[in-house]
């Protein structure tokens, strides 16, 4: 039995009922804000949290306002993964204060990962005195109570208490799309990669109950959702704390709901199991795409990053995945200029990227995060060297992406149609199983939300072109 099993606590019905009472009080309060606008930074976790925040606000009678300057309540759902994410959020918040000076009734709130950093609550209290509401990642379910305090008691609310081992089920969610949906399967992370702030701001790993996940998925399928993306910082650890079932078993159970397409984010290479590779080989619903962050091609960097695998073991897993599913598209994350990275280390990353031939890659310059182990590492890389390295890496990957995409010409593939192409209004646009955007001719808006057969006819630098396959008479 693991330690965390005991620690995870589902928010009980009584607590949720109290929140429901607060929600009703806000909904009938004469001074309540009438409209809201949420600004979201960061990853899919935050995007999905924002859907829950929106659902909760709608439930209290607020309506969405597309212009942030005009909203009565503006919530910033922040990210602190890198310094620039943090600066962007703070810049946006400070800018909005200028509007608030003209519209003093406007309420400004900050939530998300940035608020969970040590000392952040104090900073907000002192430096951002115009902020009315601040809360962290673990207490979204308390938004009705916070809003009630704000409107009824005219009190500033700052609550960044952790409550990291709790899971709240059944909160209202206002999903951004009718046919694509996110489902959280677990929260937090236990990996402590030496550069990463996530375990500090999102807490320890805790899995949702499989039944809760399956029920949510069944509801979505019933509502016509075609694609579900499962979310977790390391989905491969799903169930380690509850002992209920493994991640590959969960995927199989989800497939039984009849969902057309399944995706997940993110998978840690050290925990990618043979069982998962087998699901890739046999599943009808699992999209032929895997985001598998490698971070570096140098074993000494991987060790310093505390990643728990080597370049060789990563390549071995890639080989086995491709054997099981030759057309699988791989994408990755890469960090350059980690402390102590030599030119030789960096060249190993280039070599690895050249060997794997990812469909695409997110590339980042290492950013020091206070509180993480790497923040104390010596040998910071100079910023000119870092910029030069990232540019070389981007150049290499850009060429590979172009070639990979060009090689897909002639393929027939299913596209989940998302809308009219932004660039060519006569074409429709959607994503193939490998998660690459495809603009295609022969379709119209009636196809939005459906998976349709398309033949790939050409490739640009990041997107594919195609033609809708007409049904034969
Ligand atoms: N849980 C996911 C990723 C979370 S963060 C995973 O483990 O794969 C997304 C990406 O941001 C990471 O994969 C990493 O490449 C990058 N990243 C995280 N911390 C960073 C830092 N301090 N500096 C630069 N990039 C960072
Ligand atoms: Fe961060 Fe590593 Fe956890 Fe991903 S696995 S969230 S990179 S600590
Ligand atoms: Fe950022 Fe938090 Fe995601 S730090 S990357 S929003 S988990």
Mean pLDDT lowest among 24-28, 49-53, 125-129, 457-461: 125-129
For the record, the structure tokens of 288 come out as 């032929």
pTM: 0.95
**How many distinct structural domains can be found in the chain?**
3
Same structural domain, 58 and 186: no
Planar angle of CA 317, 44, 127, nearest 5 degrees? 125
Q: Which of 361, 377, 406 is the last residue of a domain?
A: 406
Same structural domain, 189 and 327: yes
β-sheet bridge partners, residue 362: 333
Ligand 1 pocket test target in 364, 366, 381 with most atoms within 8 Å of CB? 364
Q: Which residues contact ligand 3 via a Cβ below 6 A?
A: 42-43, 45-46, 79-81, 113, 197-198, 201-202
Q: What is the mean pLDDT of residues 446-453?
A: 97
For residue 28, count other CB atoms closer than 10 A to its CB: 9
Q: Which of 406, 428, 460 is the last residue of a domain?
A: 406
Same structural domain, 295 and 280: yes
Same structural domain, 377 and 347: yes
What would the pLDDT profile of 273-332 be if each residue is shown by its tens digit? Answer: 999 999 999 999 999 999 999 999 999 999 999 999 999 999 999 999 999 999 999 999
Same structural domain, 391 and 430: no
The CA distance from 322 to 319, in Å, is: 5
The CATH number for 22's domain is 3.40.50.12160
What would the pLDDT profile of 154-184 be if each residue is shown by its tens digit? Answer: 989 998 876 666 788 989 999 999 999 999 9
Same structural domain, 186 and 323: yes
pLDDT score of 155: 87
What would the pLDDT profile of 182-199 be if each residue is shown by its tens digit? Answer: 999 999 999 999 999 999
Mean pLDDT (the chain, rounded): 94
pLDDT score of 5: 37
Same structural domain, 419 and 402: no
β-sheet bridge partners, residue 413: 454
8 Å CB contact between 114 and 86:
yes
Report whether pLDDT(88) > 60: yes
Question: For the chain, what percent of residues have pLDDT higher than 90?
Answer: 89
Q: Is residue 320 part of a domain?
A: yes
Q: Is residue 33 part of a domain?
A: yes
DSSP 403-451: HHHHTTTT-EEEEEEEEE-SS-TTSEEEEETT--EEEEES--GGGTT-E
Same structural domain, 248 and 141: no
Give the torsion through C-alpha atoms of 74, 80, 85, 88, to 10 deg. Answer: 40
The CATH number for 451's domain is 2.40.50
Can you give the residue range of the structural domain that contains 103?
5-159
Question: Would you give the distance in Å from CA 2 to the centre of its chain?
Answer: 27
Residue with the larger pLDDT of the pair 137 and 387: 387
Q: What is the mean pLDDT of residues 398-404?
A: 98
Report whether pLDDT(272) > 60: yes
Same structural domain, 359 and 419: no
Q: Is residue 257 part of a domain?
A: yes
pLDDT score of 9: 67
Ligand 1 atom 5, closest CA: 81
Same structural domain, 319 and 417: no
Q: Which of 159, 190, 224 is the last residue of a domain?
A: 159
Q: Please, what is the end-to-end C-alpha distance for the chain in angstroms?
A: 60
Report whether pLDDT(8) > 60: no
What would the pLDDT profile of 340-379 be if each residue is shown by its tens digit? Answer: 999 999 999 999 999 999 999 999 999 999 999 999 999 9
Q: Is residue 171 part of a domain?
A: no
With a 6 A CB cut-off, is 192 part of the ligand 2 pocket? yes
pLDDT score of 118: 87
With a 6 A CB cut-off, is 196 part of the ligand 2 pocket? yes
Same structural domain, 401 and 426: no
CA 153 to each of CA 31, 59, 145, 146, 147: distance values in angstroms, whole numbers, following the listed order: 11, 21, 11, 10, 10
């Amino acid at each position: 039995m693991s330690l965390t099993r005991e620690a995870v606590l589902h928010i009980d019905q009584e607590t949720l009922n109290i929140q429901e009472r607060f929600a009703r009080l806000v909904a009938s309060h004469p001074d309540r804000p009438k409209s809201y606008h949420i600004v979201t930074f960061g990853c899919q976790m935050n995007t999905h949290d924002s859907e829950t925040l929106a659902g909760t606000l709608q439930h209290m009678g607020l309506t969405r306002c597309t212009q942030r300057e005009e909203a009565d309540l503006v919530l910033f759902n922040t990210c602190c993964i890198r310094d620039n994410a943090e600066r962007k959020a703070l810049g946006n918040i400070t800018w909005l204060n200028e509007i608030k000076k003209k519209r003093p009734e406007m309420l400004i709130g900050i939530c998300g990962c940035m608020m969970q950093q040590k000392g952040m609550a104090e900073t907000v209290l002192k430096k951002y005195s115009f902020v009315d509401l601040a809360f962290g990642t673990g207490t979204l379910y308390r938004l009705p109570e916070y809003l009630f305090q704000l409107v009824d008691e005219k009190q500033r609310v700052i609550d960044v208490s952790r409550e990291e081992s709790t899971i709240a089920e059944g909160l209202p969610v206002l999903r951004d799309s009718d046919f694509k949906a996110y489902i959280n399967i677990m929260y937090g992370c236990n990996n402590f990669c030496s550069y990463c702030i996530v375990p500090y701001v999102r807490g320890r790993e805790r899995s949702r109950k499989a039944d809760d996940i399956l029920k949510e998925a069944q509801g979505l399928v019933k509502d016509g959702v075609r694609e579900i993306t499962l979310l977790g910082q390391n989905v491969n650890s799903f169930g380690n704390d509850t002992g209920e079932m493994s991640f590959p078993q969960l995927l199989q159970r989800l497939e039984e709901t009849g969902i057309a397409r399944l995706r997940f984010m993110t998978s840690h290479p050290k925990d990618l199991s043979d069982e998962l590779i087998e699901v890739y080989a046999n599943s009808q619903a699992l999209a032929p795409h895997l985001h598998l962050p490698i971070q570096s091609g140098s074993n000494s960097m991987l060790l310093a990053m505390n990643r728990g695998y080597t370049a060789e073991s990563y390549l071995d897993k890639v080989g086995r995945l491709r054997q099981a599913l030759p057309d699988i598209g791989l994408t990755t994350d890469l960090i350059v200029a980690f402390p102590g990275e030599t030119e030789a280390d960096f060249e190993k990353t280039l070599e690895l990227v050249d060997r794997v031939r990812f469909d695409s890659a997110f590339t980042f310059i290492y950013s020091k995060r206070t509180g993480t182990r790497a923040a104390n590492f010596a040998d910071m890389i100079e910023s000119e060297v870092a910029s030069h390295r990232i540019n070389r890496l981007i150049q290499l990957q850009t060429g590979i992406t172009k070639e990979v995409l060009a090689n897909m010409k002639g393929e027939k593939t299913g596209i989940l149609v998302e809308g009219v192409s932004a660039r060519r209004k006569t074409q429709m646009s959607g994503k193939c199983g490998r998660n690459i955007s495809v603009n295609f001719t022969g379709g119209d808006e009636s196809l939005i939300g459906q998976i349709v057969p398309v033949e790939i006819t050409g490739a640009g630098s990041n997107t594919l072109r195609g033609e809708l396959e007409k049904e034969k008479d």
